[in-house]
Amino acid sequence: MNNVLSHFRSSPCILTTALSYVRSSKAWLDLFSNMCLILVNTADDIFREDDMTTQSEAIAADLEAIRANYSLTDEQRQIVDHVDRVSREVLHPLQSRMDDEEWWPDDLFKQMGELGLLGITAPEELGGSGQTEFTQALVSEVISKWNPAVGLSHGAHDNLCLNNLLRNGSEEQVKKYVPGLCSGDLVGALGLTEPGAGSDALGSMATTARRDGDDYVINGSKIYITNGPIADVILLYAKTDKSKGAKGISAFIIETDNPGFKVAQKLDKMGFRGSPTGELVFEDCRVPASAMVGPENTGVSVVMSGLDLERAMVASVCVGMAERALELGLEYAKIREQFGKPIASFQMMQSKLAEIYTEVETARAFSYRALAACTGLPKGAGGRGEIHKLTAAACLYAGEAFNKAVTEACHIHGGSGYMQDTEINRLFRANKLLEIGAGTSEVRKIIIAEELLRA
């Protein structure tokens, strides 16, 4: 009934349309009479001024909520402008050598600390910026736009290690490690994936931590670990009770100068080549019990809440890189001439540019929606429910959107896009990781479907 009335409120022309039917049909006459009776009986409700005012206020509140979710504050814009400038001037020129030589500048993390790019969510008294996860993702988006390899390592350091430790570590652990991670004097990493544990990272985990007096002795290996070869501290996950499966996992903060730890190899990647990735081995690596993050056998909650935030961050990385792909494609289309005119003048090229733009902006809107939901996520939350579904969906969409965007942008470049030393080629080679890391596209779909069916 209310739906019918709402149509009359919004479309008075329906009355005119209904009258035309009345002249030719008795059935429509009966229907029209009944609707008129409904309108008369509810006229006070429809036209009461205070109700209309309340409705207007509700609409205004809804619009304000939408703006809050999708618009940046003045402070966020200032931060984005600062990060954009330093990333363009300092990080972008490093891109070519980092990719060619798989090179990571020794002092780059310290330099990022000095530029205010680290510790975005950490309190100011610990050397951070005291910002939200939303702002952290904006920083990651801009860095990734100008230097994807730095963006990848920045995310592993600032979100996967520092932010996870900040959310789940003890007061003593936070005070010990967070200031160094904020300044860049310490480099952080996350140790989860193993040679036999990828998508089934928790169930198939083989790395163990055995209690021995006041210590834990860790044995096992981790692979595809971003920042692994250069890390000073690693947030590591290991089985402390095999009989409990995934519920027998604990988290530890490991200092890489501990005896028993070594980098087995630095891995040669297709994309993000400047970001160091490695295989890590733990052989009777002894750490104090105080290195455990959270209570024993509660690591799964740390993992899952961290993965939800990671997926939201990965969506932002995709947006930044897709935006750069659009810029490069547009720039090339304007200067490249064939058949006597710029290829941008051809409708097929214009179609590609329009499609890339649409992918970028829809991915951005979805990313911001997920980030707004992640902001202020309570400790231990995540890994289930709406936030689990939403971040998986945002990451899924953004990864596939970037894939489409960079493929079309590379195609616009023609033969030059196939050359390994071009920036668009570096973006193209990097894109596949963003449909694999933080859970493959298939895993993201499983998460979405499971949460839909569970509701």
- Please list the active-site residues: 310
Element holding 340 (H helix, E strand)? none
3-class state of residue 394 by DSSP: helix
- Cα of first residue to Cα of last residue in the chain, in angstroms, is 28
CA atoms within 13 A on the CB side of 445: 7
Q: Which two tokens stand for residue 370?
A: 């997920």
3-class state of residue 4 by DSSP: helix
Q: Are 367 and 398 in contact (CB under 8 A)?
A: yes
Angle (CA) 101 419 350, round 5° = 130
Q: Are 161 and 253 in contact (CB under 8 A)?
A: no
Beta bridge partners of 226: 277
Burial class (CB in 10 A: 0-12, 13-18, 19+), 375: middle
Contacts (Cβ under 8 Å, ≥6 apart) of 421? 96, 100
> Within 10 Å of residue 114's Cβ, how many Cβ atoms?
12
Name which of 71, 82, 172, 158 is nearest 122 in CA terms.
158
Q: Are 88 and 115 in contact (CB under 8 A)?
A: no
The CA-atom distances, in angstroms, between 159 and each of 28, 30, 101, 134 are 63, 65, 26, 11
Q: Are 17 and 11 in contact (CB under 8 A)?
A: no
385 — phi, psi (to 5°)? 70, -155
Burial class (CB in 10 A: 0-12, 13-18, 19+), 62: exposed
Residue indicated by tokens 């707004």: 372
Q: Are 15 and 5 in contact (CB under 8 A)?
A: no
Between CA 451 and CA 455 the distance in angstroms is 6
